[in-house]
A and B are shown apart, each in its own frame.
Chain A
Amino acid sequence: EPEVTQTPSHQVTQMGQEVILRCVPISNHLYFYWYRQILGQKVEFLVSFYNNEISEKSEIFDDQFSVERPDGSNFTLKIRSTKLEDSAMYFCASKLALDADTQYFGPGTRLTVL
Chain B
Amino acid sequence: GQQVMQIPQYQHVQEGEDFTTYCNSSTTLSNIQWYKQRPGGHPVFLIQLVKSGEVKKQKRLTFQFGEAKKNSSLHITATQTTDVGTYFCAVTGGGADGLTFGKGTHLIIQP
Q: Does A46 lie within 8 Å of B98, measured CB to CB?
A: yes
Q: Do residues A106 and B99 form an inter-chain contact, with CB atoms below 8 A?
A: no
Pair A31/B43 contact, Cβ less than 8 Å: no
CB interface residues, B 33-51, toward A, < 8 Å: 33, 37, 41-45, 48
Number of chain A interface residues as a range: 20 to 34
Contact (Cβ within 8 A) B88 A43? yes
Q: CA–CA, A8 to B97, complex, Å?
A: 26
Task: Please state if B48 and A101 are interface contacts (CB–CB under 8 Å).
Answer: yes
Structural contact, B98 and A47, CB atoms closer than 8 A: yes
- Describe B's contact surface by its main secondary structure: loop
Tell me the number of A-to-B contacts counted with CB atoms below 8 Å: 54
B44 near A105 (CB under 8 angstroms)? yes
Interface of A is mostly: strand
Known: A42-B88, A44-B101. A98 touches B44 (CB 8 A): no
The answer to whether A101 touches B103 (Cβ under 8 A) is: no
B98 and A58 contacting across the interface, CB-CB below 8 Å: yes
Q: How far is the CA of A108 from the CA of B98 in the complex (A)?
A: 17
Residue of A nearest to B99 (CB): A45
Q: Give the chain A neighbours of B85 by CB distance below 8 A.
A: none
Min distance, Cβ B50 to any Cβ of chain A, angstroms: 9
CB nearest neighbor in B for A61: B98
Any A CB within 8 A of the CB of B95: yes
Please, which residues of chain A bring their CB within 8 A of the CB of B88?
42-43
CA distance A43 to B92 in the complex (A): 13
Q: Does A75 reach chain B (CB closer than 8 Å)? A: no
Instruction: Report whether A43 and B101 are in contact in the complex, using a CB–CB cutoff of 8 Å.
Output: yes
> Is the CB–CB distance between A56 and B98 below 8 Å?
yes
Q: How far is the CA of A58 from the CA of B95 in the complex (A)?
A: 16
Which 4 residue pairs of A and B lie closest in terms of their CB atoms, listed nearest first?
A45-B98, A55-B96, A101-B48, A105-B42
Contact sample, A vs B, 7 pairs, CB 8 Å cutoff: A35-B99, A41-B103, A42-B104, A45-B98, A46-B98, A55-B96, A91-B42
Contacts from A to B (Cβ < 8 Å): 31, 33, 35, 41-48, 50, 55-56, 58, 91, 98, 101-108
